[in-house]
Amino acid sequence: MSYAARMRQAYPFKAASTSVDHLVIGGGVLGLSAAAGLVNTAGRGRTTFLVEKRNQLWQNTSQRKTDVIQSGIYYPIGSLKSQLSIRGRHLLYDRCEALGIEHRKTQKLVVATSNSQIPYLDYLQGISVNERLRQGTGVQSSSQNDSSIPAYFLSGDDARDMEPDLSPAVNGAVIMTETGILDRRGLIQSLEKEVEEEEYLETPVGVGLGVGRRIRGKGDGRGHGMIVRGTRVVRIDADEKGGWVVQLESGWNGEEGVKGEIEAVRAQVVVNAAGVGGAELTEGVRSECGRVPEEVVRGGYLLYTGPGVENVSRIIHPCPTRHSDGVSARLSIDLDGIIHFGPDLSFLSPASQDPSDWPQPSESDLQAIGQAIQDYLPNIDPSLLQPGYSELRPAITHDGGIGDFMIRHTEDRTGLIELLGFDSPLTPALAVGELVVDKVKKEIWRGGRQVDELAKGWE
C-alpha cells in the first residue's frame, strides 16, 4: 500500500474551512522559488501559502552550508536538467551579486591522468561547442566562446599551474569557468523574504530580481505570501468545483497514529515541491496518472583535513574509468575552505530514511576512494578521510540510473503541478520558479482575470 493510500485511510475526507489561491508544498529551494514567483505575479488579492513540515526551511535534503552552482555540462543537451540549470545558473549569479549573497565562481577542472581518458575531455568540450548551446554572441576563439557552458581544454602543465597540488600524471584537463559555490542559507533567507516581505526587492539593487517577473514601482500586482512551518500535508483530494482540498496537520510529534491539529484548505493551484517522498504524496489522487519511478538516493560525503590540498582553490573532478564513474572521488570546496569528496551514492528503500539505517562506507570503500583521489592528488593521506554529512535526494530512475527532472501538470489534474526527481535542486531552482509561473498563467489563470490585465503597467 502506498504512502498516500495509508494516509487516506488514516485521515478521512474533510471539507475545506478556508481557501487560498496557491498552496506550495515544501520549504526547500524549489518550493521557495515557486512560491516567490507566484506571489510576484499573482495580482492583488491572490494568496500564496507555502507549507513546510519541519520547523526550518530546506532541511529535508541537506544541512550543509555551501552548495555548488553547476555548469550543466554533465546533463544531456535539451534535457530539463540542462535547460533549467543553464538558465538557473545565470539567475543565481545575478541574484547573489545584487543582494550580497556570499558566493564565489570557483571554476571546475575535470582532469585526466592517462591517455585513455583524453577522449572523455574531448567529449566534454564537444558539448560546450555544440550549436544548440551557442548564445549568439558571435565570439569564438581558443580562449573564449559563445557557449552557454564555456569549457576549454588545458594541458597537464596548464592545469598544474592553476592547481599545483595536482599529480604529475595529469596530462590534460577541461576547465568549466561558470561553476561556483554559494551560501545556501543566504539564498534561502533571500527567497523567504521575497515570499513574505512586500518591500524586500523594492530597492535599486532589487529591481528585476523577483522570480517570474521584473519588479517595478511599489509592488502593484503583487499578491500576498505566507510561510507556514511545522505543518505537513496528509491528504489531497480533487474538489468537485475545481481546485484541490488539502488537509494540513500541525503539531504532529512524528509518531504514526497520533494526530496533530487538522485543517482542510481549498487551493486552486497546488505545487508539489516536497522533494523526497513527493511522488508518493499525490499517488492515487487521480487513478488515471501512473506511478512515477521516483527513488530516494543518499549522497554521502567525506571530509578531509590534511596534506596534499593546501593550494586547492577550484572544484576538481577526475575522469571516469572503466572501473569507476569517479563520483565518490570528486573534490568540492566550501566557502570556509573545507575540502570534501563525493558524493558516494546509494539507493535507499522508503523505509530507510532514518539516518541510523543509512549505509556507511566500509574500510575497503574508504581505501578504494582514497586510491582514486590519489590518482590526481597524490599527496593526500587517505587515512584522514572521515565520513561527513549526507543528503537525501529524490531521483527518477531510468535504465538503472538517474534520469531527468519531471514537471508534471496534466489535464485531468489541472492545478496540481508536481516537481519530481530534482536530485540537484539548487542550480535550476530560480528557473523552475519561472516555469511554474508560466504554467500557472497560461494553463490555469487563463480564465477569470486575464494575464494581460494583470500585466498592465509592467511592460
% the chain with pLDDT above 90: 63
Region label for 382, one of left (φ > 0), alpha (ψ between -120 and 50) or beta (otherwise) = alpha
pLDDT of 366 > 60? The answer is: yes
Confidence of residue 345 (pLDDT cuts 50, 70, 90): confident
Last residue of a domain, one of 354, 384, 399: 399
* pLDDT (0 to 100) of residue 449: 41
Q: Is 316 helix (H, G, I), strand (E, B) or coil?
A: strand
| Among candidate residues 158, 154, 148, 106, the one with its CA nearest the CA of residue 128 | 148
pTM attached to this predicted model: 0.91
The predicted structure's pLDDT at residue 217? 35
Checking if the pLDDT of 214 tops 80, the result is: no
User: Do the domain assignments include residue 99?
Assistant: no
Q: Note whether 38 and 8 are same-domain residues.
A: yes
Domain final residue, candidates 352, 383, 399: 399
- What distances in angstroms separate CA 67 from CA 29, 396, 443, one per listed residue? 12, 22, 33
Residue 307 is predicted with a pLDDT of 98
Average pLDDT for 43-58: 89
Q: Is residue 459 included in any domain, yes or no?
A: no
Instruction: Please tell me whether residues 376 and 436 are part of one structural domain.
Output: no
- Higher local confidence (pLDDT), 385 or 350: 385
Give me the pLDDT at residue 63, please.
Answer: 56
Among 178-192, 234-248, 286-300, 382-396, where is mean pLDDT lowest?
286-300
Alpha helices in 57-139 (DSSP H): 80-99, 118-128
Tell me what the pLDDT averaged over the chain comes to.
87
For range 2-30, the mean pLDDT:
92
pLDDT higher than 70, residue 92: yes
**CA triplet 168, 170, 176: central angle to 5 degrees?**
135
Integer CA distances (angstroms), 414 to 191, 243, 247, 330, 408, in order: 26, 8, 18, 42, 10
Pairing of strands 18-25, 47-52: parallel
Do 349 and 247 reside in the same domain of the chain? no
pLDDT digits (tens, 9 = 90+) for 276-333: 889 888 887 866 566 788 888 888 899 999 999 999 999 999 999 887 888 999 999 9
Q: How confident is the model at residue 36 (pLDDT cuts 50, 70, 90)?
A: very high
User: HEC string of 155-202?
Assistant: EHHHHHHHCCCCCCCCCEEEEECCCEEEEHHHHHHHHHHHHHCCCCCC
pLDDT at 144: 45
Residue 72, domain member (yes or no) = no
CA atoms within 13 A on the CB side of 121: 26
Taking only the tens place, the pLDDT of each residue in 179-191 is: 999 999 999 999 9
- Same domain, residue pair 211 and 164: no
**Which residues, in sequence order, are CB contacts of 158 under 8 Å at separation 6+?**
173
Higher pLDDT, 28 or 144: 28
142 φ/ψ angles, rounded to the nearest 5 degrees: -70, -20
Q: Higher-confidence residue: 252 or 267?
A: 267
pLDDT at residue 358, rounded to an integer: 65
118/130 Cα distance (integer angstroms): 18
Select the highest-mean-pLDDT range: 133-142, 310-319, 411-420, 444-453: 310-319
How high is the pLDDT of residue 352? 55
Least confident stretch, 10-24, 120-134, 185-199, 200-214: 200-214
Q: Classify 11 as helix, strand or coil.
A: coil
Same domain, 218 and 340: no
Share of the chain above pLDDT 70, in %: 88
Q: Are strands 108-112 and 315-318 parallel, antiparallel or unpaired?
A: parallel
pLDDT at residue 263 is higher than 90? yes
- The answer to whether residue 96 is domain-embedded is no
53 with 193, same domain: the answer is yes
Place of cell 509518531: 255
More confident residue, 252 or 355: 252
What local confidence, expressed as pLDDT, does residue 60 receive?
57
Comparing 64-68, 270-274, 368-372, the range with the smallest average pLDDT is 64-68
Q: Cell 519561472 appears where?
A: 434
Q: Are residues 189 and 289 in the same domain?
A: yes
Distances (CA, A) of 403 to 75, 293, 346, 421, 424: 10, 10, 15, 8, 12
Tell me whether residue 74 is in a domain. no
Query: Looking at residues 137-163, what average pLDDT do you find?
Result: 78
The C-alpha atoms of residue 342 and residue 390 are separated, in whole angstroms, by 10
Q: Which domain holds residue 145?
A: 105-178+295-399
Q: What is the distance between the alpha carbons of residues 285 and 279, in angstroms, rounded to a whole number? A: 11
Total domains in the chain come to: 2
Q: What is the CATH number of the domain that holds 156?
A: 3.30.9.10
- Examine the domain organization and report whether 318 and 441 are in the same domain: no
97 within domain boundaries:
no
pLDDT at 64: 66
Q: Is residue 167 part of a domain?
A: yes
Task: Report the pLDDT value the prediction gives residue 454, as an integer from 0 to 100.
Answer: 33
**Same domain for 174 and 187?**
no
* Over residues 114-123, mean pLDDT: 97
- Is residue 94 classed as helix, strand or coil in its secondary structure? helix
In a domain, 304, yes or no: yes
* Average of per-residue pLDDT across 221-245: 93
Residues 155 and 303 in one domain: yes
Q: Are 285 and 409 part of one and the same domain?
A: yes
**Closest C-alpha to 223, from 233, 238, 213:** 213
Given a cut of 80, is residue 61 above it in pLDDT?
no
Asked whether residue 140 carries a pLDDT value surpassing 70, the answer given is no
CATH of the domain at 256: 3.50.50.60
Residue 128 sits in the same domain as residue 172: yes
